[in-house]
Chain A
Amino acid sequence: MEAFGLLLHGFAVLLTWKTLLLMMVGLVLGIFVGVLPGLGGPNGVAILLPLTFTMDPTSAIVMLSCIYWGALFGGAITSILFNIPGEAWSVATTFDGYPMAQQGRAAEALTAAFTSSFIGSLVAVLLITFLAPMISSFALKFGPPEFFAVYLLTFCSFVGLGREAKHKTVISMSLGLLLAGVGMDTVSGQLRMTFGSAELLRGINFLVAVIGLFGISEILLTMEERLALRGHAAGISLRVVLSVWKDLPKYWVTLLRSSVIGCWLGITPGGAIAASFMGYNLAKRFSKDQESFGKGRIEGVFAPETAAHASGTSALLPMLALGIPGSGTAAILLGGLMVWGLNPGPLLFVEHKDFVWGLIASMYLGNVVGLVLVLTTVPIFASILRVPFAAVAPMIVVSCAIGAYAIQNAMFDIWLMLGFGVVGYVFKKIGIPLAPFTLALVLGSRAEDAFRLSMIGSGGDMKVFWSNGLVGSITTLAIVLLFWPVIDKAIAGLGRMLRPARA
């Protein structure tokens, strides 16, 4: 129960007027970002990151994580009222949410979405509270070979389990790792891949790349679409909220199932998008009345929203415990940690107790405050969509430029951001996934350091990655995951060969 005491301490850190105010500001900005087309969780967090540079780390992370919760809540508003998913993970919410709004049950659908988001996050936060300290204290025994093996596992699972074409994932990942190596080499102090350019000496900053890849490219993509919309305006009355909550216990199986799926996919790099679809599909498959899904069934809102939020929240678990982000947004928060001078990894739980437990406590508090906030302010946020995109787009561009410049005070970074914007646009259109790129860019130098330190330790013997049971099994698992599609096919083929023999 040590975790409980520390959590209470975390709440004590949080309960100051300043932090609560920052929390509200973060949530409002986040919902805003979630509602606007062409801006999502990762973009919002990346663009607003510079605001936090001069804050102390605890206030900064509280505000940023609240932007994240806000964006998660905000995505549901547009899916239900306008049939436009503000975020990819709210696509599944539109299946039943929009029909409900058409039937005049918008308030009910919104309440269901917000409540189930809240439940999903809560389950994930509980998991983080009790599991993260355990994992991190276990990981304290890790040496460089173990860390490299864990990084390898993360990368391999992306390649092996991702749904994109394998070579495209490999391209995205190796490009990210390469760009992470540009600049001064941290071990030898030698310059690499700078080609005599003084600007490249600093290296390619992760956050600049993210702002370009997600912010600028998203605007280019949004412009391709038809931006007209029509939808419902809805206010939520206390009566509707209470009636939905009264029915909640009936759906406990759906809620629990979606939470579990979400937590699992959040910790492994499956992501909130996969989680929301899987939550929806499973709820449909296990339902007695499958036909009614897609026609405005409240379970069709509960299932994907719970899973998406559980996944989005639990993606922070590996980031806190091991320094490995489970999602794009978590990767950006990790980038933030480094800017504030904290070293991500298991030592965080030992060296910065206030920070870690402040963050975990803010997850509880942020979700409660967020739930109340969205339930009361939905009409205001829905009307944001009346603002024409021609006014919103240039403002987003300016915010992106401010964000990119503020990180290192370099004009070059604004140009770099523009370049990454074009790269992101092209990559998205030809199906090269961006998440592995982001992950590789943020983990690249640490993965390389871990590799080289293990090599120096072992005198250049690759056997160090199989030197004990722990590191050996992680490395083996990584290689199995890398070749998982091949292995999967081989097993299926073997099964086919055996079956006729038996028949």
Chain B
Amino acid sequence: MSNTDIEIVVDDPTAPEENSPAVVSTGVVDIVVSLLLLALAVVLGWDNWRTGASWDSTGPQPGYFPFYLSVILGGASLYGLGAAFLSRREAAETFVTRAQFRRVLAVFVPTFLFCLATQYLGLYVASFLLIAGFMRLVGKIALWKSLLTAFIFTAAMFVTFDIAFDVIMPKGPLEAAFGY
């Protein structure tokens, strides 16, 4: 038999283009991450030094173990920093292209808004808004399909977690209006 029995085909019309320019190179990200980790190591190391990182009569003080871990983390980040500066090959590699970055933001921004909405509207309302909005705006799926899917999924989650398994999720004004 040949390739004639291909039966499942899914297209991705908004796929990122291949030749999109790079936003930032891996080398730069490597250096920034190393610097951030170094800063974190210094802050945590200082905090643990303040807590007490030496020995007393009973053994190591609470800050002892994490203090030396901060030293290790700091050392490894410094090494990473040096390696990133020296490595020419990695510096030129693309970390993310503009088209890819746009798609990543298309997920990240809604996820961020979803977390924000969860804080004020409760998880279920936020989840309905996220699914319906994402399917409609990012996926370009028909409005009725988006709304229906979002409603069914959210309702199923509510029944599974809040009712069947007693795992209580954050609630907002809407649930309060229904007495939950």
Contact = CB atoms under 8 A, between A and B. Distances in A.
Interface of A: 50-51, 53-54, 81-82, 102-104, 165, 167-168, 170-171, 174-175, 177-178, 181, 185, 187-188, 190-193, 195, 216, 219-220, 223-224, 226-233, 382-383, 385-386, 388-391, 393-395, 397-399, 401-402, 405-406, 409, 411, 414-415, 418, 421-422, 425-427, 429-430, 432, 448, 451-452, 455-456, 459-460
B33 A426 contact: yes
A460 B66 contact: no
A414 B115 contact: yes
A165 B16 contact: no
Contacts of B114: 394, 397-398, 401
- Chain A interface main SS type: helix
A82 B16 CA distance: 20
B104 interface: yes
B62 A193 contact: no
A31 B19 CA distance: 36
Contacts of B77: 171
A171 B72 CA distance: 8
A174 to B, nearest CB: 4
B176 interface: no
A187 B61 CA distance: 9
Given A190-B62, A406-B161, A391 B149 contact: yes
Nearest to A417: B115
- Size class of the B contact interface (CB-based, 8 Å): 35 or more
A388 B141 contact: yes
Contacts, number: 218
Given A192-B51, A193-B66, A398 B157 contact: yes
B130 A383 contact: no
B161 to A, nearest CB: 6
A451 B165 contact: no
A391 B139 contact: yes
Contacts of A168: 76, 80
B9 A230 contact: yes
Contact of A401 (B115, B134, B165): B115
- The 4 closest A-B CB pairs, nearest first, are A390-B139, A104-B1, A228-B12, A233-B7
Contact of B168 (A51, A190, A382, A409): A409
A402 B161 contact: yes
Contacts of B134: 390, 393-394
Contact of A429 (B3, B29, B37, B112): B29
Contacts of A81: 8
B177 interface: no
Contact of A402 (B63, B123, B149): B123
